[in-house]
């Protein structure tokens, strides 16, 4: 069965410090991968998605970036965090390609980031 | 345009039925989803419905789709305190991308 992992679970970082959040998926190959941010316990904002290694689409311009160095690894980064980067970051995967049966997404447990 | 709207809050008593509503704007949506998020956790897929269906039932959950009005609802029968969570509606447009558009979520509070 497929599982998705995120770490760390919680993170407190000062303004201006770098960020690296990691997401890995097991049990599937070539998944579509997604990074979302959820602020104030509400609303999911799609930040990035990837349909393959090295292929990243950005939905919202900001000081965050994403990379996919391996098939089942998705990393969210920042060189300098802002206060407004605080939130709950969720990684998700869906079945690969455009021939998926139903396109549903499966979410990881999330990372709570507090920028101080 | 792409927009999914939900009411923000619903409060019910244990044992009652809950109905969470959602409206969407893209008539080309192919799949519509309901996700549940418990406090501090990721989203869990509850159910989905294909756009050519009117209704789908899965145990205590009933999904109704009115494609003409672009209205989706989730009914939870015999609501329990463990059903307290945020419920997200999401749609998949009929495009080449696999992304979903989520509503802002409805917080369901079930009181004993």
At A26-80, the pLDDT tens digits run 998 999 999 999 987 568 889 999 989 989 998 886 899 999 999 999 999 999 9
pLDDT of residue A98: 58
Interface test mutation site (partner B, options A105, A112, A113, max chain B beta carbons within 10 A)? A105
B-chain residues within 8 Å CB-CB of A92?
Answer: 42-43
- Return the residue of B nearest to A32 by Cα: B98
Selecting from B35, B41, B98 the residue whose C-beta is nearest the C-beta of A103 gives B98
Selecting from B48, B88, B102 the residue whose C-beta is nearest the C-beta of A102 gives B48
The overall average pLDDT reported for chain B is 91
Interface contacts (A, B; CB < 8 Å): 55
User: Mean pLDDT lowest for which of A53-62, A87-96, B63-72?
Assistant: A53-62
**Tens-digit pLDDT profile for residues B1-54:** 458 999 999 999 999 999 999 999 887 778 899 999 998 899 999 999 988 899
How far is Cα A42 from Cα A84, in angstroms, rounded to an integer? Answer: 15
Interface test mutation site (partner A, options B4, B22, B31, B37, max chain A beta carbons within 10 A)? B37
Selecting from B45, B100, B105 the residue whose C-beta is nearest the C-beta of A43 gives B105
- Report angle CA B42, B46, B52 to the nearest 5 degrees: 130
Selecting from B8, B88, B99 the residue whose C-beta is nearest the C-beta of A46 gives B99
pLDDT of residue A39: 83
Structural tokens at position B30:
């192919």
Sign of the four-CA dihedral B18, B20, B21, B27: negative
Q: Report yes or no: A78 at the B interface, CB cutoff 8 Å.
A: no
pLDDT of residue B1: 47
B-chain residues within 8 Å CB-CB of A87?
Answer: none
- Sequence-distant (≥ 6) Cβ neighbours of residue A32 within 8 angstroms: A49, A50, A51, A93, A94, A95, A96, B98
Round to the nearest angstrom and report the end-to-end CA distance of chain A.
38
pLDDT at B67 over 50: yes
Q: Which single residue is written with the structure tokens 């799949």?
A: B31
pLDDT at B65 over 90: yes
Q: Let me know: does A3 contact A91? Beta carbons within 8 Å.
A: no
Q: Report yes or no: A112 at the B interface, CB cutoff 8 Å.
A: yes
Q: Report yes or no: B42 at the A interface, CB cutoff 8 Å.
A: yes
């Amino acid at each position: 069965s497929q599982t998705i992992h995120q770490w760390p679970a919680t993170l407190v970082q000062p303004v201006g410090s770098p960020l690296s959040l990691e997401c890995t998926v097991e049990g599937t190959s070539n998944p579509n991968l997604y990074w979302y941010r959820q602020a104030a316990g509400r609303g999911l904002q799609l930040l990035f998605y990837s349909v393959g290694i090295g292929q990243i689409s950005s939905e919202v311009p900001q000081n965050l970036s994403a990379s996919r160095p391996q098939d089942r690894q998705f990393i969210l980064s920042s060189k300098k965090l802002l206060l407004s980067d605080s939130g709950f970051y969720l990684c998700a995967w869906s079945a690969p390609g455009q021939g998926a049966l139903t396109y549903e997404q499966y979410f990881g447990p999330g990372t709570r980031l507090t920028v101080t | 345009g792409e927009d999914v709207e939900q009411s923000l809050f619903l409060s019910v008593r244990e044992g009652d039925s809950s109905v969470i509503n959602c409206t969407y704007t893209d008539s080309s949506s192919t799949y519509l989803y309901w996700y549940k998020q418990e406090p501090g956790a990721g989203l869990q897929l509850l159910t989905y419905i294909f756009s050519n269906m009117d209704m789908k039932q899965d145990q205590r959950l009933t999904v109704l789709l009115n494609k003409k009005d672009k209205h989706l609802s989730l009914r939870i029968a015999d609501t329990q305190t463990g059903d307290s969570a945020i419920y997200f509606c999401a749609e998949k447009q009929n495009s080449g991308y696999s992304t979903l558009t989520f509503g802002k979520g409805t917080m369901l509070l079930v009181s004993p």
